[in-house]
Amino acid sequence: MAVMHVKQEDFMSVVRSNEIVFVDFWAKWCAPCRAFGPIFEKVSENHPEITFIKVDIDENPDIAAEAEIHSIPTIKVIKNCGEIWNHQGSVTAEVLELVVEEAKKLDTSDEDDNEDSGDNGDNE
């Protein structure tokens, strides 16, 4: 699947309708962002089952503010609507491939099930 350029009105819809979403927060004027772009594209082509999106922070300041983007490029990985990885700066294709594999393996479906197990530590 090709990388999608997402705008404010589509961001949450994309996140909610896809199990795993890799997000590249970038800007046209950012040289490191432009250098990372082809790496992000290449890895996305290797994983058509995963959604890869780019968010231009200048065109979508509300998304950038809500995602607390303070430096670009920033890469976030969202699985089942929860952020599982966040990295400021560029990474190599090899590192991004490792993150893809870890994201696929990570089980986020039962994260809250252990919070209320009924065992509060009292054995009385």
Q: Which residues are catalytic?
A: 30, 33
Total residue count of the chain as it appears in this document: 124
Which amino acid, one-letter code, is at 97? Answer: E
Contact 39, 91 (CB under 8 A): yes
DSSP structure string for 66-120: HTT--SSSEEEEEETTEEEEEEES---HHHHHHHHHHHHH---TTTTTTTT-S--
Contact 105, 50 (CB under 8 A): no
